[in-house]
Amino acid sequence: MTKGAALFDLTGKRALVTGSSQGIGYALAQGLKDAGAEIILNGRDEAKLGAAAKALDTPHTLAFDATDHEAVRKAVDTFEANTGPIDILINNAGMQHRTELENFPADAFEKLLQTNIASVFHVGQAVARHMIGRGAGKIINIASVQTALARPGIAPYTATKGAVGNLTKGMATDWAKHGLQCNAIAPGYFDTPLNAALVADADFSAWLEKRTPAGRWGNVDELVGAAVFLSSPASSFVNGHILYVDGGITASL
């Protein structure tokens, strides 16, 4: 039986993190590397991806668009054939667009759907097909506090993150029997490039600090523990779970 710190040891495992050239994705890649995993970074901007790989000191990058089904499948299949298995997948690629719902552009809505939810399907399916053949694998989807809550001006984003939560449950329902654990991390409000406009808004920050029981923004490294747990043997019987890392905001009125 695996015991103690060995429950969280990722040595010998290889992890693909989508959207990992900056922000939460990069922080999670760094955290999994520190736990022993070999990291594969992903992004669309090859220059940013290369800089991130150099900073993280990893030789593995996959520059594909997570919304392109065929490109995703080709990249994953080629990596598996030429380099080896992907044992852990973190579906982190995502975007935001803030506009009141009555004026929300249709093209922005479609882009949110593709980036935030279709990408989870595309990459999840491509990687899971190989994991199923091996009888083991970890898939972690990045949901959001908006998986459970709504806020003015981001209704379509809220819809996509609600869908991520339910797709995670669907993945677990279909794939647990094959030895996969499929779960989600739902971050609250974190100081990231995606939230730069909100962080810079003194009124919003004051509201957030009052609304959140912890009384502050989250730091991206505070998501690492959840990611390591869900990537490791410690979560061998955890499936279809949405783990909120939000300073208590979903627990409090």
Phi, psi of 89 (to 5 degrees): -125, 130
If we measure between CA atoms, which residue out of 57, 46, 1 comes closest to residue 21?
46
pLDDT digits (tens, 9 = 90+) for 115-147: 999 999 999 999 999 999 999 999 999 999 999
pLDDT of residue 195: 86
- Give the domain extent around 30: 4-244
Q: Given this model, what pLDDT does residue 193 score? A: 81
Q: Is 208 left (phi over 0), alpha (psi -120 to 50) or beta?
A: alpha
Contacts 24+ apart (CB under 8 A), 52-55: 52/20, 52/21, 52/22, 52/26
Positive or negative, the Cα torsion across 195, 198, 200, 206? negative
What CA–CA distance (Å, rounded) separates 44 from 81?
22
Q: Is residue 24 part of a domain?
A: yes
- List Cα–Cα distances, 232 to 64, 66, 170, 243, in angstroms: 26, 24, 21, 15
Q: Is the pLDDT of residue 2 over 80?
A: no
pLDDT for 194 equals 78
Q: Which two tokens stand for residue 97?
A: 């667009």
Considering the domain boundaries, does residue 210 fall inside one? yes
Size (the chain), residues: 253
Tens-place pLDDT, residues 63-102: 999 999 999 999 999 999 999 999 999 999 999 999 999 9
Q: Answer yes or no: is 251 within a domain.
A: no
Q: Is residue 213 part of a domain?
A: yes
**For 182-208, how does the pLDDT look when each residue is reduced to its tens digit (9 = 90+)?**
999 999 999 988 788 899 999 999 999
Catalytic-role residue among 26, 157, 189, 244: 157
Confidence at residue 251, expressed as pLDDT on a 0 to 100 scale:
96
pLDDT value of position 1: 54
Asked if the structure places residue 64 within a domain, the reply is yes
What pLDDT was estimated at residue 242? 98
Q: Is residue 193 part of a domain?
A: yes
66: domain CATH number? 3.40.50.720
Q: Has residue 143 been placed in a domain?
A: yes
Q: Does residue 164 lie within any of the structural domains? A: yes
Active site residue 189: no
Task: Of 97-106, 145-154, 166-175, 189-198, give the lowest mean pLDDT range.
Answer: 189-198
Q: pLDDT tens digits for 14-52? A: 999 999 999 999 999 999 999 999 999 999 999 999 999
Q: Which amino acid is at 26?
A: Y
Q: How many domains does the chain have?
A: 1
